[in-house]
Amino acid sequence: MSTEQEQRTIRCLVAKVGLDGHDRGAHVIARAFRDAGFEVIYSGLHKSPDDIVQAAVQEDVDVLGISILSGAHDTLVPKIMDGLGEYDAFEDTLVIVGGIIPEDDREELYEAGVAEIFGPGASMAETIEFVRENAPER
Amino acid sequence: MAGEDTLVDELLAGKHRALARVITKIENRSPGYRDLVSQLHDHTGDAEVIGITGSPGAGKSTLVDKMAATYRERGETVGVIAIDPSSPFTGGAVLGDRIRMGSNVGDMDVFFRSMSARGSLGGLSTATTDAVKALDAFGKDKVIVETVGAGQNEIEIVKTADTVAVLVPPGSGDDVQMLKAGILEIADIFVVNKADMDGADRTVMELREMVEMRDASPMAGHHGADAMASEDTEPADEETGWEPRIIETVAKTGEGVEEFLGTIADHTAWLTESGELESQTRKRYEAEIKTLLREDTAALLEEELAARGGLETYVDRVLDRKTDPYSVADELVAPIAACVRERRENGD
């Protein structure tokens, strides 16, 4: 085993933000990511945008998956994006959102820097494939 | 992408992102990570490193959370490395320790990092040691390393700490049984967590008995399992030796945490006064150098093996009784040995 041999593993933070207690989806995706060979950090429930930023920065995750079903995405997600920017983590973190996001709100999230939105019906395989292909090169 | 020099500069300047990235490079063994760690070395040696281990569900993460919060109240900065197992099949892992860090969310001066024991990778203890160095160089006052105490690998990791605490949940004697298999020797402090549960008294008693038995054993000594203890390290004598303390805590409520931290401070003071700290540090660097040498020579041999067509062909020949494993090893090592000897004689 060489000490120079690189051993890269995709690291993800699965985050629940705000007053949204629906974590079944987050659990399912966390397990699916794990089984896909990723290292998954789960934030736990009811985190503030700052908490999520802290976790994303310290854990140096490649992917931040925000699960949100409360409808507060239009305020919470941009706050997270700003926070990532504050710590120079905006550029090389792939941010994806899962949950209930109305069609009308999507453009705004994309503009804020969200790479992709996975609504109800999105398949696990599709999500994992997206992460594999788009995880930032560092 | 910032080069390695600026990354180290940024880390030393206190940028969280740089610290996080350095640890990632250490974990991934990215090209150039060795230079990074080399540059950090000069800035290390100030942090107090505390290792926390114990069986799953003992309450390690919760206790670490309370420890970090208490240190922060005292104005000290804290780094935490929490190691979780990963699947040997997919390499994937869910690193769940962060969820328990409820008292410290939003506090950037607690730098919490989850690491996974990446499958077959033998270098976990190297990666942990290096990550501890990064936190140390960053200027953290206390660095806490948390790991499941399930095997030799974990014991190796915990040995990078100045003070090692082993958590024991109260209840069946089985947990204490488990401790016999090597964890007893590494504990400076036993923490009976969840001390409000039934059976805590009994667990404390059993531990006390075990500690006393250890004292009676001729094998006793600090971190007594160190087979490579060299001649110049004094045997721990009765006067100055450290007898493992037993502390009761209820991590969930924070009960006993102050006392626990006090005991850690006692141990640290003892380490300094007895000169044990110095000899421990020496031993640690000794072990680190040996590990690196082993890994590097193994890598060199693997390169040689690959150049000669890989291991398979040798295995085939051994199977056919054309050669044997010893001869294969000799054949591979001989040219390297010859080369090294020649250079040594030439005074290179």
User: What pLDDT score does B199 carry?
Assistant: 83
Residue A92 CB coordination number (10 Å): 16
Residue A6 lies in a domain: no
Taking the C-alpha atoms of residue B33 and residue A42, their distance in angstroms, rounded to an integer, is 27
Residue A89 lies in a domain: yes
According to DSSP, the β-strands at A116-118 and B48-54 are unpaired
Residue A60 lies in a domain: yes
Closest CA to A114 of A58, A86, A73: A73
Q: Do A3 and B292 touch (CB under 8 A)?
A: yes
The interface residues of chain B toward chain A in range 34-73, judged by CB-CB distance below 8 A, are 34
User: What pLDDT score does B240 carry?
Assistant: 60
At B10, give phi and psi (nearest 5°).
-65, -40
Residue A31 lies in a domain: yes
Tell me the pLDDT of chain A (138 aa) as tens digits. Answer: 334 456 678 999 999 998 888 889 899 999 999 999 999 999 989 899 999 999 999 999 999 999 999 888 999 999 999 999 999 999 999 999 999 999 999 999 999 999 999 998 889 999 999 999 999 877
Measured between beta carbons, the chain A residues lying within 8 angstroms of B113 are 58-59
3-state helix, strand, coil in chain A (%, to 5): 40, 20, 40
- Fold of the domain spanning B44-274: Rossmann fold (3.40.50)
Query: In what order do the strands lie in the sheet containing A11-16?
Result: A116-118, A94-99, A63-68, A11-16, A39-42, B93-95
Annotate B58-96 with DSSP letters as a single string: SSHHHHHHHHHHHHHHTT--EEEEEEEE--TTT--EEE-
Residue tagged 């009976």 (tokens): B192
Residue A16 lies in a domain: yes
CA A94 to chain centre: 7
Q: How many CB pairs under 8 A join A and B?
A: 123
Measured between beta carbons, the chain B residues lying within 8 angstroms of A31 are 94
Query: Closest partner residue to B299 among A1, A7, A30, by Cβ?
Result: A1
For B93-131, b/e burial (b = at least 16 CB within 10 A) is bbbbbbebbebbbebebbbbbbbbbbbebebbbbbbbbb
Residue A112 lies in a domain: yes
User: What pLDDT score does B187 carry?
Assistant: 87
Q: Position B257: which residue type?
A: V
Taking the Cβ of residue B106 and every Cβ of chain A, the question of whether any pair is shorter than 8 Å is answered with: yes
Q: For position A78, which CATH number holds?
A: 3.40.50.280
Measured between beta carbons, the chain A residues lying within 8 angstroms of B65 are none
User: What pLDDT score does B94 carry?
Assistant: 81
User: What pLDDT score does B81 carry?
Assistant: 94
User: What pLDDT score does B79 carry?
Assistant: 96
Tell me the pLDDT of chain B (348 aa) as tens digits. Answer: 456 668 999 999 999 999 999 999 998 888 889 999 999 999 999 999 999 988 778 889 999 999 999 999 999 999 999 988 777 677 778 887 888 877 887 788 999 999 887 654 456 778 889 999 999 999 999 999 998 765 566 677 777 899 999 888 887 566 566 666 566 778 899 999 998 888 888 888 888 888 887 666 555 444 444 444 444 444 444 456 888 999 999 999 999 999 999 999 999 999 999 999 999 899 889 988 998 898 889 889 989 899 998 899 999 999 999 999 999 999 999 999 999 999 999 876
The interface residues of chain A toward chain B in range 47-76, judged by CB-CB distance below 8 A, are 47-48, 50-51, 54-55, 57-60
Residue A15 lies in a domain: yes
Residue tagged 């033998």 (tokens): B122
Q: Do B106 and A35 touch (CB under 8 A)?
A: no
Measured between beta carbons, the chain B residues lying within 8 angstroms of A39 are 86, 92-93, 95, 114, 116
Structural domain count of chain A: 1
Rg (CA), chain A: 14
Domain ranges of chain B: 44-274, 293-345
Measured between beta carbons, the chain B residues lying within 8 angstroms of A88 are 15, 17
**Structural domain harbouring A116:** 11-134
Residue tagged 């003992």 (tokens): B58
